[in-house]
Amino acid sequence: MMNKKFRDILIVVAAAFVIFAVVAVIMLWPAKSDGPILKQSFENADEIVLTVDDSVAIGNIIPNDVSVFEQDDPDIQMHPVQVYAGKQKNTVVLKFQDPLNQAHPHIVNIEGIAKDPVSLTVERSYWGYLVSILISALLINNYVFTKYLGLCVFFGTSRRKSTATGMGIVFTIVMLVSAILSWLFYKFILVPFHLDFLQVVVFIGLVSLTVQAVDTILRKVNPILFKSFGVFLVLVIANCIIIAVPLDMASNHYNLAETIMLALGAGGGFLLALYLMSNVRERIELAPIPESFKGLPIAFMTAGQFALAFLGFSGLQIF
């Protein structure tokens, strides 16, 4: 059971990172356009909605005046099959024949609404994008039940709810701090000096420093919880989940806000997996199961059932 001092430290750390994440998102929020197009967004799978100012005659926009292509693939251009006024005032709906790949930004070029052709970028809401990173790491691509990472610590600390919850919280804190440090080193040292090939070594070193700090704090603040972790806290240093987060950050070229969402989602997903597994394992100990299935065999079977259940989140899209 975590004492009051340890809970207070966790609350302060969590509040600090939430404030830091909010500030980072506000700083990265895109500026409002000053042209004839005031706002642009994806609507349905095959529609783009534009909000225009009063100077634009919506009826004069024809499909041939509009060309759209993915930002990463400018050679394939599309024209809407229909252009019509939306339900809201000063909105234009561009309807396409096929669904748009909304995971990638699209460039829209429009002629005839201003003296010069208007070019704009349409992409998903940045808030929605951040939440999608969080939900993806938490449920859709859970690092334990869909990627099967961190199983040594997962099976070792999921026998009791108290130990599992404590390890999940510690894991999340380590993951968050190490991910932020890894992003700083990757962004301002590894990339500018072309040292990307050292990222695994650097990330392991940063994780080791973070784990050592948590180890020292836990030893002083909550010795009982520290002893319950045993050797598993040391295993966090080279745990594959801890290393996977900064590696995913580097491969996807995430900024700081996106890295924080990824770390929170991965840590929260590990905490969720530990909590679910510990609840079931405590019940299993009281169940009349065959002797040959006791221990790790029934634990692996239970984890497999959870993995099948988490497959139900595959393809989930909220934003």
Are the beta carbons of 257 and 178 closer than 8 angstroms? no
pLDDT value at position 259? 94
Residue 319 inside a domain? The answer is no
Specify whether 18 is located in the same domain as 52.
Answer: no
Which pLDDT score is estimated for 48?
92
- Tokens representing 277? 């597994």
Residues 114 and 8 occupy one common structural domain: no
Q: Are residues 102 and 203 in the same domain?
A: no
Let me know if residue 33 belongs to a domain: no
Query: Are 96 and 237 found together in one domain?
Result: no
**Sign (positive or negative) of CA dihedral 233, 235, 237, 239:** negative
User: Does residue 305 belong to any structural domain of this protein?
Assistant: yes
Same domain membership, residue 96 and residue 15: no
- Give bridge partners of residue 39 from the DSSP assignment: 51
Q: Which of 74, 104, 122 is the last residue of a domain?
A: 122
Do 117 and 151 lie in a common domain? Answer: no
Q: What's the domain range around 88?
A: 43-122
Give residue 29's pLDDT: 53
Confirm whether 30 is domain-assigned. no
In a shared domain, residues 81 and 111: yes
Q: Is 36 within a domain?
A: no
Low-confidence residues of the chain: pLDDT under 70: 1-34, 228-235, 237-238, 317-319
Taking only the tens place, the pLDDT of each residue in 277-301 is 999 998 888 888 888 888 888 999 9
Q: Kindly state whether residues 149 and 242 are assigned to the same domain.
A: yes
**Count of structural domains, the chain:** 2
Classify the phi-psi angles of 295: left when phi > 0, otherwise alpha if psi is within -120 to 50, otherwise beta.
left
Q: Answer whether residue 31 is part of any domain.
A: no
Per-residue pLDDT tens over the stretch 73-104:
888 899 999 999 888 888 999 999 998 888 78
Q: 203, exposed or middle or buried, with CB in 10 Å at 0-12, 13-18, 19+?
A: buried
Report the pLDDT value the prediction gives residue 272, as an integer from 0 to 100: 92
Residues 261 and 224 in one domain: yes
**Residue 35 lies inside a defined structural domain of this protein:** no
**CATH number of the domain enclosing 117:** 2.60.40.1220
Same domain, residue pair 146 and 289: yes
Report yes or no on 152 lying in a domain.
Answer: yes
- Whether the CB-CB separation of 270 and 241 falls below 8 Å is answered with yes
Question: In the prediction, which pLDDT does 187 show?
Answer: 93
Which uninterrupted H or E stretch holds 94? strand 91-95
* Residues 168 and 181 occupy one common structural domain: yes
In order of 43, 58, 98, 192, 252, the CA distances from 101 in angstroms are: 12, 26, 10, 32, 18
Q: Where is the domain boundary, 81, 101, 122?
A: 122
**Where among 66, 101, 122 does a domain terminate?**
122
**In the prediction, which pLDDT does 95 show?**
92
Please tell me whether residues 153 and 232 are part of one structural domain.
yes
What would you report as the CA-atom Rg of the chain, rounded to the nearest whole angstrom? 25
The pLDDT score that the predictor gives to residue 20 is 55
